[in-house]
Every structure is written in structure tokens, then in C-alpha cells.
Amino acid sequence: MQQKHDPSRDSHYVDDDFYRDLTASFSDWQRDERLVADPVLREQCRAFLDREARLLDERRFEEWLALFAPECLYWVPGTPDGGDPRKEVAISFDDRRQLEGRVYRLRTGYAWSQVPPSRTARLVSNVEVFATDREAVRMVRSNFLISEFRAGETRVLSGCYAHRLARGVDGWQILVKQVNLIDCDQNLRNPSLIL
């Protein structure tokens, strides 16, 4: 019998199937014939991303974490095509436990890269929804601009998000959030911000 694991405590779900599904579902998904035309669904996704951006801007990290499915991934690839994470490191590759750890660290007050914390204003735009092989799962592509103020300076981070969303009983949940920085393969200054 399969033992039930708490993904906040241990990481059993990041296995070979997980990696296989991940690389398969994040390649060749932005196909025109899969674009979802339904304006209601698109508006739902847009509102979901807007709220997510607001929670991050307001540093409401615990509520932000609640947007994710129990078995989830926050993935910031270090190469423009995302690559195969089994064979290469990413800028960030957090499962549920590590994502909670990331928030925990920021909350300690001793994460000097975020003391004082960044102030951000995020713009999320160009939202497109794509169908997948699974009825309850959608891929959402969007562009982002994050204006970040920290330590006396303002800078802009930009790129595109790919959200893999699943429809649950309480609405959409994030299975995977992939953050594709336009300069992901370059040397980045203080990449401690949650993107």
C-alpha cells in the first residue's frame, strides 16, 4: 500500500515521473490550435494571475503559498529553453517543502538579501490560455514586468510566466509556476526576490 506523505515534510513526489511530466508538459505547449477562446476562462485566469501578483507585491507569502497545489513546483530555469532539470541546475527549483522553506527564510528577519525587503509593483499582461491533454489542466502564458525598489535603487525584471493550473473544488491551483527571466542565463544581481 502506498504510504501517504506530507509534501511539506518530505519530498517523495519529485520522482522520475514528475520530471518526465514536467519536461513533457513544458515543451511545445504554446500551440495556436490549443489556444482557449472561451472569454470566461481567460478572464478567470487573468484574475487569478492578478491576485497572485498582488499577494506577492504585498508580501502576503503565506496566502500566496495557498495558491499552490500540495504537490507543486516553483521553477526559474537558468537557460532560455528550461532544459532538463535532472541534468542541469536551475536558478530556483522549489518543491512544496523548499518553497515553504523559502518563505520561512524570508520571515526570519535574517535573510540579509531581503533586509530591508524589496518593494515591488508587478505588471502581468498578454495572458493566453492553452489547453492540455487533461481537461482539468490548463497552461497559462503571460508576460511580466516587476519594478523592484531596494537599497536605494529601482530596477526592472522581466520575462514570461508559464503557469500550469489545475481546476480543483475551490477553483484553480498552481501545479507549476515557471518563471522565464529574459536574462536567466546571465549573472543576476541579488536574485532573492520571489518572482
Partner 1 sequence: MSKLENPGRVEDFGSPHDWERLVQEDRVHRLIYTDPGIFREEMTKIFGAVWVYLAHESQIPRNDDFVTVHLGLRPLIVLRDSRGGVRALYNRCTHRGTTICRQDRGSAKAFQCPYHGWTYLNSGKLSGVPWPDGYACDFKDAKFNLAQVPRIAIYRGFIFGTLNSDAPPLLEYLGPITRPIDEWLDRHPGGRIVFCEANRLKYRGNWKLAYDNSADGYHVVFSHRSLLDMENRLEEDPDKGMSYYRSKPDEAPMYVQYLGHGHHFKDKRPNVAKRPGALWEIEGAHPGMEHYEAKLRRRLGAKADRVLDLASSEPVNINVFPNLLILGNHVQVIEPVAVDETKLTWYATAVVDDSGELEGAAEDVNALRMRTQEGFPNFGEVDDAVNFEEIQRGLQALEDEWVYMHRGLGIPGRVKVAADGVITAPATDEVFMREYIKEWKRLMQARPNLVVRREP
Sites of contact with partner 1 (CB under 8 A): 5, 9-15, 18-19, 73, 78-79, 83, 85-95, 97-98, 101-102, 104-106, 108-113, 151, 185-192
Tell me whether residue 34 or residue 191 sits nearer to partner 1 (CB atom).
191
Say how far apart CA 73 and CA 194 lie, in whole Å: 13
Shortest CB 130 distance to partner 1, Å: 26
Tell me whether residue 39 or residue 109 sits nearer to partner 1 (CB atom).
109
Shortest CB 81 distance to partner 1, Å: 12
Tell me whether residue 56 or residue 129 sits nearer to partner 1 (CB atom).
56
How many CB atoms are closer than 10 A to CB 176?
Answer: 21
Say how far apart CA 31 and CA 8 lie, in whole Å: 34
Shortest CB 108 distance to partner 1, Å: 5
Shortest CB 32 distance to partner 1, Å: 30
Q: Which of 107, 85, 128, 110 is nearest to 194 (CA)?
A: 107
Order of strands across the sheet that contains 92-94: 92-94, 68-76, 171-181, 153-168, 137-150, 119-131
Shortest CB 85 distance to partner 1, Å: 6
Tell me whether residue 8 or residue 30 sits nearer to partner 1 (CB atom).
8
The cell for 80 is 532560455
**For 150, phi and psi rounded to 5 degrees?**
-155, 140
Say how far apart CA 155 and CA 168 lie, in whole Å: 37
Tell me whether residue 89 or residue 145 sits nearer to partner 1 (CB atom).
89
